[in-house]
Amino acid sequence: MRRNVLFWLSLVLMMAALYLVFVYVPTEKEMGIVQRIFYLMVPVGWLSLLSFLIIFIASIFYLTKREIKWDNLGYSAAEVGIVFTTLTLVVGSIWAKPVWGVWWTWEPRLTSTLVLWLIYLAYFIVRAFATEESRGATFAAVVGIIGFIDIPIVALATTLWRGMHPAPIIFKGGLAPPMLFTLLVSLTAFTVFYFLLLRQRVSLREAEVEIKRLKKLGD
Amino acid sequence: MRFWSKVLTITWKDTLSEMRTKEILSSVLVFALLVIVTFNFAFVASQEAIRLVAPGILWVTFAFAGVLSLSRAFLPEKEQGCLEGLLSCPISREVIYVGKMLSSLLFMLIIEAIALPIFAFLFNLSVLSPQLITITFLTTVGFASVGTLFSALAVNTRAREMVLPILFLPIVVPLIISAVKASGLVLSGESWGGLSSWLRIIGAFDIIFLVASYLVFAFVIEE
């Protein structure tokens, strides 16, 4: 029932966001049509961070409470999160090409996202290389905690490192009201969609764990 | 026994076994030297260009040498079953973390103290300033803080040598950035004032990860 609500809500919001991005919002003066990528880039970037926050909280609860449901949540958030982080990198590259003239630039936000992506990979790799599953879950939780604490320091260091780089126009001044409205709708749409995906992944993961348990019981 | 005397007992045990085998110091030193020499071939360049790439060479060398020596921190314990002995001692897991961290830190500092003059000699740079020594010391503390945690984690996985760098390198990105930038400033004659923002990042990293690793270490090591 609740999943249905999430599904329809995200469908309606997504349609609204598409309409706003492609029809309603005025084209930005200096960057032109490519600026519309912005309404996709900000939501996916936000979700890659939100995902790691969920991993962080789930990891703390898993280590202290030792309940499998927290590991299921952390694992699912990591899987959905790495998809959004990859999307952020792809969309960021597509944005960088017309705006800065290159596909990749070591701009602070892009660089931090790349490091975040590598930490996500580490989260999966320790799990894959662990000798037992429960141990892998513990190790992954440790990486989830340490990795999350690292993100603000990475952001700080990369920003200071590229201090001379001109900040993108959007982040300097305020946004025009229609742009802000479009951005907010787009953010909401993607966030609802994210929770729909996360819910699906968690219930799938729970089924996987249950099947594994039954298989072990059968042996 | 109080906390620190237990910690120092573990550090002393590691130091003693290292003095007898010289496993880490000898192999990692040779490795560090090889990295420096290899980089020299990669950047055949004028003295000015060397000045630009030198901080990068130095910190790549120290980071790789750090990974190598950290990967040995728990390996002999695991292989010879000493880890079980250590875990069954009437001491808290945190004591093991701090003791191990200090011994890893000590070995890395010794390696760096030998490698830094060699580096200065080979690249014809005068790097032995109090600023650079401070940067090196603080960054190495950061390396040892997360490195010891990840080393204990990696030793309990199937592909030990591969897991450590995959975990370690992305986490220490802020340290590498700050150390390279700060060392570059030192080489171009900057005084303490210009370094302060970088030193603050390194210091914050050290404190945050010493505390965080101290808190989660017990989960990594438990049998």
- Domain boundary assignment for chain B: 3-221
Angle between helices A68-100 and A38-65 in degrees, nearest 10 = 160
Tell me the HSE value of B168 on the side-chain side, using a 13 A CA sphere: 28
Taking only residues 61 to 80 of chain A, the set having a beta carbon closer than 8 angstroms to any beta carbon of chain B reads 63
Burial B198-220 (b: 16+ CB within 10 A, else e): bbebbebbbebbbebbbebbebb
Q: Do B177 and A153 touch (CB under 8 A)?
A: no
Q: For chain A, what is the mean pLDDT?
A: 88
CA pseudo-torsion sign A64, A65, A68, A69? negative
What does the pLDDT read at residue B105? 96
Six token digits for residue A165:
């780089």
Q: Would you say residue A3 has pLDDT above 80?
A: no
Question: Which of B175, B216, B220, B223 to probe by mutation at the A interface, max A CB count within 10 Å?
Answer: B216
Question: Which of B67, B160, B171, B172 to probe by mutation at the A interface, max A CB count within 10 Å?
Answer: B171
Say how far residue A26 (Cα) sits from the centre of its chain.
27
Angle between helices A68-100 and A133-161 in degrees, nearest 10 = 30
Residues A125-156 have pLDDT tens digits of 999 998 888 889 999 999 999 999 999 999 88
Q: For chain B, what is the mean pLDDT?
A: 89
Q: Which of B159, B166, B212 faces A146 most closely, judged by CB atoms?
A: B212
Q: Would you say residue A22 has pLDDT above 60?
A: yes
* pLDDT cut 90: percent of chain A above it: 56
Residue of A nearest to B160 (CA): A129
Q: Would you say residue A170 has pLDDT above 70?
A: no
DSSP character for A167?
P
Q: Cα separation of A112 and A150, whole Å?
A: 10
Residues A45-97 have pLDDT tens digits of 999 999 999 999 999 999 999 999 999 999 999 999 999 999 999 999 988 88
Distance from CA of B105 to the nearest CA of A (A): 20
Taking only residues 127 to 146 of chain B, the set having a beta carbon closer than 8 angstroms to any beta carbon of chain A reads 146
pLDDT category at A176 given cuts 50, 70, 90 is confident
Mean per-residue pLDDT for A110-124? 93
Alpha helices in chain A (DSSP H): 2-19, 38-65, 68-100, 108-129, 133-161, 169-172, 177-218
pLDDT category at A167 given cuts 50, 70, 90 is low
Q: Would you say residue A30 has pLDDT above 70?
A: yes
DSSP character for B44?
-
Helix, strand, or coil (residue A27) = coil
Mean per-residue pLDDT for A172-195? 86
What does the pLDDT read at residue A164? 47
Distance from CA of B180 to the nearest CA of A (A): 10
Q: Is A164 within 8 Å of chain B by CB?
A: no
Q: Would you say residue A165 has pLDDT above 60?
A: no
CB A148 within 8 A of CB A52: yes
What does the pLDDT read at residue A1? 63
Q: Is B38 within 8 Å of chain A by CB?
A: no
Q: Which of A126, A135, A157 faces B167 most closely, judged by CB atoms?
A: A126
Distance from CA of B106 to the nearest CA of A (A): 23
What does the pLDDT read at residue B41? 83
Q: Would you say residue A26 has pLDDT above 70?
A: yes
ipTM for the predicted complex: 0.90
Q: Would you say residue A171 has pLDDT above 60?
A: no
Residues in chain B predicted with pLDDT less than 50, given as ranges, are none
User: How many CB pairs below 8 A link A and B?
Assistant: 84
What does the pLDDT read at residue A84? 96
Q: Do B171 and A119 touch (CB under 8 A)?
A: yes
- Residues of chain B positioned with their CB less than 8 A from the CB of A160: 181, 197-198, 201
What does the pLDDT read at residue B23? 85
Distance from CA of B163 to the nearest CA of A (A): 7
Question: Which of B97, B139, B167 to probe by mutation at the A interface, max A CB count within 10 Å?
Answer: B167
